[in-house]
Structure 1
Amino acid sequence: MRPLQDSDPRQLGQYRLLARLGAGGMGRVYLAHSSTGRTVAVKVVRQDLSSDDEFRERFAREVEMARAVSSRWTVPVVDADTEAQTPWLATAYILGPTLGEALADHGPLPESSVRALGAGLAEALVGIHAAGLVHRDLKPGNVLLSPEGPRVIDFGIARAVDGTRITGTGVVVGSPGFMSPEQASGAATGPAGDVFALASVLANAATGRAPFGEGSAAGQLYQVVHGQPDLTGVPAALTHILAPCFAKDPARRPAPRDLAAVLCPQGATAALTGAWLPGPVTAAIARAAAQLVDLESPNRLPPGARGGDLGGHGSPGGWGPGAPTPADGVPGPSMAWSDGGPRDGTVLLSPGHEGVTSPGPASPSRRRLLAGVLAAAGTALVGGGAVLAYDLTGKTHANAGGGGRGAGAAGPSGGFSVKPSARPAGVAPEPVWSVRLTKPADATPLVVGQTVLVKTEDNAGSVGVATLTGLDLATGRQRWSDPGYGDLNDLTAFGTDVLAVNRDGGLVVVDAATGSPVRTVPPDPGHVFMSVLTVNASTAFVLGRQVSATPGTGGPAAYTLTAVRVADGARLWQQQTGTGDHALPSSAVADDQQVVLADHTHQLTARTVASGAVRWTAGLGESSDLAGNPPVDLTLASGVLLAARGRLTAWNPSTGTHLWSQGSLTADGGQDSYSPTALSADGTRAYCVHNGVGQLVASDVRSGQTRWTIDYPNPTYHRPVLAGGLILLGVTGQPVLVALKSADGGDEWQYRDSSDDSGNEWRLTAVPSAGVVLALTGSGVLAALPAD
């Protein structure tokens, strides 16, 4: 709870606002008194959503549906004005903590309390399901504990967000540790999904642990779908009751009414009469009640009162309880997933599951802070008024709306940059802008200076039928578009220009800001360029081949490496790398002394920048990737050459001396594979996914020592992206973006684009100078996401 700000209203209808309870995906939540003295929670819709007619219609319909829920164990809607200029609704205010907060502060509940809790929640589900609703996000953060019994929050109105395609991007509401298998898999979720979630909540209440582990979000999702719950510590009688609720087949789970009867044959009302909560929890509620009395005067906040002081009250539909933001001076927890309702596109995760091997558990005082911070509702990655949805011809599909993030500013050198935003921990930031591509993207977006280059296919499957477009980094607006550049291969940034090879085998230099050609280095007679392998400060190292010996014309291809001075297009030298596909360089990296290449047989060759002479060679000892497997990834950092493929190996780039290795060679020659590596800003730490063991690994570049690992059972050959203290990477086979803390691997937030059924990973580009990450979803939405 926080004091009212100057921008906050003081009166809505008959309700006098007293304090802020929190901010969620749909708007802000206030503590208020009615004209008759009733204490309520008033939720005010965000201004940009207020102007969306489709949203207002759904909001009004879902308010009526929520009113139709008849259960003692839910939080009722007591008033609403869906026709107001700024729509709002009021719900009963429940004084008490969330179950998650109570467990964090006071530990697990005794069996009698768990049974009474379960009976009340099961009866709440009976009422919710009878109204034609499915909760889909039952978790400890959505259960309030009061002396009169538990209350389920965030039902009904959540569907207004789920059903509104504000950005054309879907939403999956849920917390990995408390989802049902069908929901975690992206399938339709019915009432039986709520029963699975209820069993998870009760197991958590009995033990203080999530039944599907406390690892990474991706690891929890995997366990929910494929694993079995850990019921260690759950009383035997409760284990027998809960086990059928965890059936993977929804049809085999008991109905809520039957579950309530088994938990408490005398009924929930009888079980919840009297002191059903442990003494410490009841005492905390009494202290909070005393603080509430102090709020009778407008705008008065009890000294020291912060998020969670009065308990975690929330209500349906993307509304969260009170939460201090980083601007309040409250340090954020090492993992902070939101406990409120979602905005479109957001997957909200539960607190307390860091999934890292090195950090210890949070202290009790920190866990109390966590309970308050986690109370804010989630923010969509692509959604709300900040969306600029237009195709690459500039045609507007949706207005920008008011506000947006509005954090763009000039960077140190006059370029665009984003200032860190003040928002609750664990909440994904709003995008600075986003655009929906009208045609499939052909490659990961490339940032050159202040321009974002996007290559789109004009006719999927047709080689060279594509368009290259330049977007403004600050706004996402189109700067230029040219189908004549559609045949350019392997775009490479070089200062303010972009380098590529055209279909004629020439090297093309283009001004990225304007799309104007700078120069073309034509092919030599009998020789063509194929692609730009890498660059250093002055030179492009270009793969080529002798056209007189191309495959299928009588002999193996002879491949070359040419050093081209970009300033004037002069060829400095050309060296033959070998003949046949085994000699085809697949990747390279360069500094001012040497250029190191890896070929399809996983042989490393270092050549001098001055002449192209071979300096050293070394073999990785792994099987070749002639079948089209991802090539060896090469990275230079802190005086070390890193090679990632079957293993992660480190070499002295000057001498070729092997320094250290991670991973082991398998019987087939080393397909215990690693993803490409990402580097910390100072170049001392490397991050990559070890697919063989299903872990994201952080390693010291110089020593190879593992700094931390987290479970990441999703094989990927895409490079993690590092920006602003976060690691971002996609989940293979799922349209999911995961953000982790680079310091320890702790979870930050996760976004799911449920409108994408392609199974494609996100394509990510970090722009450290601007403080953003460009994220291209499988469904064609490109968003500039603040990396803070």
Structure 2
Amino acid sequence: MPSPLTHDDPVAFGAYRLIARLGSGGMGTVYLARSAGGRTVAVKTMHARIASDQAFRTRFRLEADAARVIGGQFGAAVVDADPLAETPWLATEYVLGPPLDEAVEIAGPLPEASVQVLGAALCTALGQLHRSDVVHRDLKPSNIMVTAYGPKVIDFGIARAIGDDRLTSTGAAVGTPAFMSPEQTTGQEHTPAGDVFALAGVLVFAATGQGPFGHGQPADLLYRVRYGEPDLTNVPGALAEVLRRCLAKDPGLRPTTSELAAQLHDGGGEFAEHLPHDLLAEIGRRATEVWQFAPSRLPAPLGEQLQSATTPPSSGPARRRLLAIGGAAAGLAALGGGAWAWGGWGKRDNDGKPGRPDSSGEETKNLDDLWMGTYSGTVDFIPLAPFMVADLALIPWGNTDAVDPRTGERKWQTRESGATSGIAVDGDKAYQLLSAPWVDHQGGPWPLQIASIDLAKGDVGKPIVRLSDVNGALAGTQLLCAADGVVFVAGGQGKFLYGGFRASQTWALHAIDLGPGKRLWSKPLPSRPDKSRRLHFLTARVVGSRLVALQETNAGKVRAVVRDVRTGALTWDRPFDDAVADLVRLPLATDDEHLYLGSGPLQALRLSDGKQQWSSESDRPGTAYGPPSVKDGVLYAVEDQRGLVAVDPRSGKELWGEKGDQGESADLACRPVIGTKYVYYRNGVLLRAIDVTSHRVALTYETVAKRFYEHERAKVIVAFGDKQAEAFPLR
């Protein structure tokens, strides 16, 4: 789904005004754009950081040339391009249809007749490339768009002329492991027979929902592609025999594209006649949807706003530092769509490397992470919070990705909206807001709907909650949390605004019993100014009979609010004066009696009445702390210029502090992660593991991550940086 432009995206490329972002990756960004005459196009650009590299520019030019070769019948027709511009760009037709991987998610594995006609059409497309002495080299489901008139092959980023190896290092494997040819895995010459092998893998996926060599780590996939037999168990018999020949390890044994096309289909009938109804409906929906998007642009991140504003006098260096950290983490609670794309990842193959001695002279061991992954999104925000449930980490950003926290392997991805504010977990159950079209609803609101997620497969069930008087399409809708079969949702009424609020909208907090799907109570929330993008709630959780939350005001201030979960009655509401909103959008630190707050002084507020039980200001005035964590009767926080400290949560008295004099780089934005033997926090470029017995640094891990979340069942810490995910052992 298209998402808003960022504050620093260009206005136009050539004659094409940018409307929205379609996606972003390691090479560049793709935009939805329109000409003055109303022609809708997709504009692909190259990131500025690589545009100065002549090799990348050459690849970009060759991609445009290959797209022109395949033409508009079997590819996205090239409308315009400027590969010599400061930011190279390529404008193609906007293809009205989903990529094949999404088509299979929507309609399920395709019928045999659909796979046959799809394969024959793709043979014709590849044949046209091959006759022009070009091979694609990265044919996969996401690079095939399904339209009502036939498939279109896109993304020729690593296509090249047959026999031309100038842009590939000898022995380097280039492509997507699950759909590579055996010769491609070892960096050998990729001929048209290699494209036939990849095409067969694509058709196996279309027929079964998975590739012929399964899934897993890249190294495992490459090995199976090169030496293993394809799994054609669920492929219809006649089709399986045809594809088995295409998947021969010896390129000489594979049929040509023309031979394969003749074996698949006789060419009769219209392409659309062979497609499932659900897939045709999705193609029609996308054809209509493209005209409903109006230009929209996100504001500059809070960090840039802070830098350009006059900073008021502070009470000391610690408070100034909090503002600086808040700027670095800015924008996290803002509205704005983002298309989550889980990228490459890999398990580490070594045991670590020597660390440096700490101030005591004892050497720590600087270890590697368990795995490292990349992700891309249409907005460069850090994901706010994964949801740890069962043996998965659910990562909501556009869609919801379910990742194995031990390996980084993506298990499944939902098709429904999994925006940051759209998931809630209750024990081993997960619930999700169902997506709604982002359009104006002249005939009334789009019902707010909630469904459960099948954690084994990622299937989103039928709605178990449906509120017809709440407009589920409004961008500020939030699924806050769930507990004991009740979900809490911030929902509104009124006219839709793309990516923001309207002052005319009315908002309320709703409690809904998931059993009968009935609303228990609703309590009004403040209206938001026109075009505001700040959500009502920063974080929330249920503690016993209380709903504990941090809310953001229209003035950007934070308040701690507690309500009775049975009636919604307000128990207490008080300001959280020292909080930077984006810095406290984290799991709350609570026990049965208190809410613990940092981001300034460390303090405990009684859940019963909101009164302050204790504050660090009484013993350590002016000292700043990061957001705390509490477990097993001990409160942990990062103290400015010092490092990790442990505190008695009942009295606020310090139990112990980290030993050693290396706390000057302690990260006050970091919430400590608590294991059984160690407590972890970020210090400079290291994730430190502090031994709870010796109170010294026991282990360190180099990291680019900024947010850390524990999966206690898997005994893993899942961490996120700007474009990178990592995992570390939780001990």
| TM-score (ref. length: structure 1) | 0.41
Q: TM-score, normalised by structure 2?
A: 0.44
Q: Which has the larger radius of gyration?
A: 1
